Copies of this chain bind each other. A is one copy, B any other.
Amino acid sequence: MSVPDSPATGVPSAPSDPVAPGWARPSRLDAAIAARLRRTADGLVAAVVRAHDSGEVLMVAWMDDEALHRTLTTGRATYWSRSRREYWVKGATSGHHQYVRSVALDCDGDALLVSVDQVGAACHTGHRTCFFTELPVTSPEAR
Residues of A within 8 A of B (CB): 1-2, 7-8, 33, 36, 40-41, 46, 48, 50, 54-57, 59-60, 68, 72-76, 99-108, 110-113, 117, 123-125, 127, 130-143
Contact = CB atoms under 8 A, between A and B. Distances in A.
Pick the most buried of A113, A117, A132: most chain B CB atoms within 10 A of its CB: A113
A59 B138 CA distance: 23
A63 to B, nearest CB: 11
Contacts of A106: 1-2, 59-60, 130-131, 133
Number of copies: 2
B137 A113 contact: no
A65 to B, nearest CB: 12
Contact of A108 (B8, B76, B138, B139): B8
A11 to B, nearest CB: 12
A99 B141 contact: yes
Given A72-B135, A105-B131, 5 more contacts: A7-B108, A36-B133, A101-B137, A107-B124, A112-B135
Contacts of A142: 75, 100-101
Contacts of A125: 107
B48 A102 contact: no
A113 B1 contact: no
A139 B74 contact: yes
29 contacts: A1-B106, A2-B106, A2-B107, A8-B108, A36-B133, A40-B40, A41-B41, A46-B60, A48-B60, A50-B57, A54-B55, A57-B57, A57-B113, A60-B106, A60-B110, A74-B141, A75-B140, A76-B139, A99-B143, A101-B137, A103-B134, A105-B133, A106-B130, A106-B131, A107-B123, A107-B124, A107-B132, A112-B135, A113-B131
